[in-house]
Amino acid sequence: MTRQYELVERVLSYQPTADEALLNRAYVYAMKAHGNQKRASGAPFFSHPLEVAAILAEMRLDDATIATALLHDTIEDTDTTRGEIDALFGREIGTLVDGLTKIKKLDLVTKKAEQAENFRKLLLAISSDIRVLLVKLADRLHNMRTLGAMKPAKRKIIAEETMDIYAPLAGRMGMQWLREELEGHAFKALNPEAFATVVERLAILRERNQGLIDEIASALTAKLKETKVAGFVSGREKKPYAIWSKMERKQISLEQLSDIYAFRIVVPEVEDCYRALSVVHTTWHAVPGRFKDYISNPKQNDYQSIHTTIIGPRHQRVELQIRTERMHSVADYGVAAHTLYKDSNGALGPEGVVGSQDSNAYRWLRHLVGMLLDGDNPEEFLEHTKLELFQDQVFCFTPKGRLIALPRGANPIDFAYAVHTGIGNTCVGAKINGRPMPLVTELRNGDEVEIICSKAQLPPSAWQSLAVTGKARSAIRRATRDAVRAQYGKLGREILVRAFQRREKTFSEESLAAALGRLSQKTAEDVMAAVGRGELGSADVVRAVFPEEKPQEPPKRRRKVQRNDEGWFGLRKVMGLKFRWPGSGERTCEHGPSGIPIRGLRGDLPVSFAAGGAVPGDRIVGILTPGQGITIYPIHAEALKAFDEEPERWIDVTWDIDEDNPQRFPAKISLTVLNEPGSLAQVATVIGEANGNIDNIKMTNSVPDYTEMLIDLEVWDLKHLNDIIAGLRAKDVVSRAARAGA
Ligand code: MN
């Protein structure tokens, strides 16, 4: 805890005219007033105003501000009255403390009208004297630093309010370091996992890149020295929240994020900025579109700097800020930098930004108050003010009055995910201000949004392009991915059950456990999903589970051709085929397996189907491949063209179906299916209900919106196949279905 004399000495060090007696009086008064009060952490309450005063002393604020900080909670939390403060410390400090008391309960989670009133009070208080805002921000900063002592629910509310109101306000006032620290604490409280991930990752990168950062900094330094530009180069790591929000905004992973480091060249004079810039740009390549001159065009909050990105030493992208020391101080302290030098007029130098009353940020505040005094509708004022303060945000409410801040352009889908991922995932509709509205409706400030949920709902993947916020988009992507994966898992399971059955085994997930290593998969689910997606063959899984068993079966396509008791290929029985050789008259296998002419003429020839399969109803032809056997093609197969010049290989065959012993035949279909949860299940259902067997599925092309796939089926005949294709075409999720491979 900061001690009394330390605080006083600190203030005297930058403000020699400070009223030492005033500071001591305020210190003793506040300590006595708070007495034995304790903070949530168990620390004496007085430690809080004291630390707030210390923060403001770091910002080098005047004695009245420091005294106000010490006294800021006395009227609200103790028996002290405004009259006592006025009497003991004068009207100036009395007004400041009173202003802080009025905005003490700036509780944004309350009703809209109250919130508007609070915001109005805050602005009135801070605009009458900017120091009220500075104390308020320091107060919030200390509360955020000690947030861990609060109960989780309260912690979350305070952190949200900080993220929504105080951090942007600090930024708007040009106090960059304060904004960053507030965001950091709030980020950690609101999303501890993400915070930990980013911090951990940064530590790794820091270790790995330390040499590189030094190298870049010294290369820049050397170049400046060589060209006689006086400048100090420093490397700076970006803050976890800035990194996180960039990842969310650009939808990229931490690994893809290239610019975690920024470099800064601080020079004495404005001209030096441009000299340094020319040195940098003539030495290294500038990245197009990244140059910004905020010196000739300062930002609204008075920020000035030159920004550029170069392909620097070792071909690294290097983000650079070039600025003077004065600009540096304004960038960090903003309004406070002006206030600080209020009494020493002009001490900051004449670079366009002068005393506090003329600063852009302060002018903005004045303008707001002007409007406030003109209007008499606080809600309208709030609307207007927030538009000004958060130009790129909209503020909406849940039916219970919780404030949800969203980027401009956001819709109820974003709102639902901002409330809770579970709400977003089950969202089916929305009411805006009590009226049912489309989910794509752009939200406006002050809208009350009620999300209608259905447990059965999964977010359609198309929402990814409708959502505006990164949070919603990544949650939708995750939900879609999980759902699609679950479907593939289910499908893979069915394929495996059948594959195991064919080998007279019973499939169970446990049986996969021992084979995971051999299959290079982590879990049984992974195996089933891979089989479902067609990345892993069911036969490979069977082999991995039963490695000791020899693959006694012939390759799958030839499975239909089996030796009968007499050692012949019982083609008629097994395949239902009738063969006729060209020029040899009709020779069928009607006279039993022993009479199959294939064997007599050509030896022990296996028969198989071409890749696309063939089903009864197709006109078919056989192609003889020496040393391999006969392949059956449908007569319209494109592949037959390859044999046009070799008529001797063509074999006329016709179907000869044994009605009493129906067989299934292989066929291939190609589909284009929308990538929606449930789509694959619909495909599998159509095929299953039509009594078709799925043998294999292969994804041939997958883009975010749809997947093209080839499915190997087993069907009874052409009519059966056509019925299945027609059934698939009738589904909305199937944009195309056709026979393939023929
Ligand atoms: Mn306080």
Tell me, what's the pLDDT at 349? 32
Q: How far is CA 494 from CA 383, 501, 547, 684, 688, in A?
A: 57, 11, 21, 10, 11
Structure letter (DSSP) for residue 451? E
**Residue 242 and residue 180 in contact, taking contact as beta carbons nearer than 8 Å:** yes
Q: How far is the CA of 73 from the centre of ligand 1 (A)?
A: 5
Q: How far is the CA of 178 from the centre of ligand 1 (A)?
A: 17
Residue with tokens 């499939």: 507
Q: How far is the CA of 380 from the centre of ligand 1 (A)?
A: 29
Q: How far is the CA of 94 from the centre of ligand 1 (A)?
A: 16
Tell me, what's the pLDDT at 390? 52
Of 99, 106, 102, nearest in space to 382 by CA: 106
Instruction: Round to whole Å and give the CA distance between 667 and 1.
Output: 80
DSSP string, 370-400: HHHHH---HHHHHHHHHHHHTTTEEEEE-TT
Into which CATH architecture does domain 665-739 fall?
A: 2-Layer Sandwich (3.30)
Structure letter (DSSP) for residue 111? -
Into which CATH architecture does domain 4-190 fall?
A: Orthogonal Bundle (1.10)
Of 99, 92, 159, 157, nearest in space to 127 by CA: 99
Structure letter (DSSP) for residue 166? I
Q: How far is the CA of 38 from the centre of ligand 1 (A)?
A: 13
Structure letter (DSSP) for residue 584? S
List, by residue range, all CATH 3.30.460.10 domains of the chain.
196-337
Q: How far is CA 493 from CA 59, 145, 356, 533, in A?
A: 65, 52, 71, 11
Q: How far is the CA of 227 from the centre of ligand 1 (A)?
A: 51
Q: How far is the CA of 384 from the centre of ligand 1 (A)?
A: 28
Tell me, what's the pLDDT at 70? 95
Of 153, 241, 231, nearest in space to 194 by CA: 241
DSSP string, 353-365: --SGGGSHHHHHH
Instruction: Round to whole Å and give the CA distance between 25 and 93.
Output: 13
Name the burial class of residue 631, with classes exposed (0-12), middle (13-18) and buried (19+) by CB atoms within 10 angstroms of its CB. buried
Q: How far is the CA of 48 from the centre of ligand 1 (A)?
A: 7
Catalytically annotated residues = 76-77
Q: Which residues pair with 652 in a beta bridge?
A: 580, 621
Q: Which residues pair with 680 in a beta bridge?
A: none
List, by residue range, all CATH 1.10.3210.10 domains of the chain.
4-190
Tell me, what's the pLDDT at 87? 93
Q: How far is the CA of 52 from the centre of ligand 1 (A)?
A: 8
Residues in the chain with pLDDT values less than 70: 103-128, 255-259, 300, 334-393, 395, 401, 403, 445-446, 456-457, 549-606, 626-629, 647-648, 652, 656-661, 741-742
Contacts 24+ apart (CB under 8 A), 593-601: 593/564, 593/566, 593/568, 593/569, 594/566, 594/568, 596/568, 596/569, 596/571, 596/572, 598/569, 598/571, 598/630, 599/568, 599/569
Q: How far is the CA of 499 from the centre of ligand 1 (A)?
A: 70
**Tokens (6 digits) for 539:** 């036969």
In this structure, the strands spanning 620-625 and 650-655 are antiparallel
Give the Cβ contact number of residue 624 at 10 Å. 19
Q: How far is the CA of 203 from the centre of ligand 1 (A)?
A: 34
List, by residue range, all CATH 3.30.70.260 domains of the chain.
665-739
Q: How far is the CA of 136 from the centre of ligand 1 (A)?
A: 8
Q: How far is the CA of 141 from the centre of ligand 1 (A)?
A: 10
The CATH label, of 3.30.360.10, 3.90.1170.30, 3.40.50.2000, 3.30.460.10, for the domain at 196-337 is 3.30.460.10
Give the Cβ contact number of residue 420 at 10 Å. 12
Q: Cα Rg for the chain, rounded, in angstroms?
A: 38
**Tokens (6 digits) for 657:** 């179906």
Q: How far is the CA of 342 from the centre of ligand 1 (A)?
A: 25
Q: How far is the CA of 46 from the centre of ligand 1 (A)?
A: 10
Q: How far is the CA of 64 from the centre of ligand 1 (A)?
A: 17
Q: Packing angle between helix 470-502 and helix 538-545, nearest 10 degrees?
A: 70
Tell me, what's the pLDDT at 288? 85
Q: Packing angle between helix 176-190 and helix 192-226, nearest 10 degrees?
A: 150
Instruction: Round to whole Å and give the CA distance between 371 and 444.
Output: 21
Q: How far is the CA of 122 from the centre of ligand 1 (A)?
A: 15
Tell me, what's the pLDDT at 52? 95
Instruction: Round to whole Å and give the CA distance between 370 and 216.
Output: 49
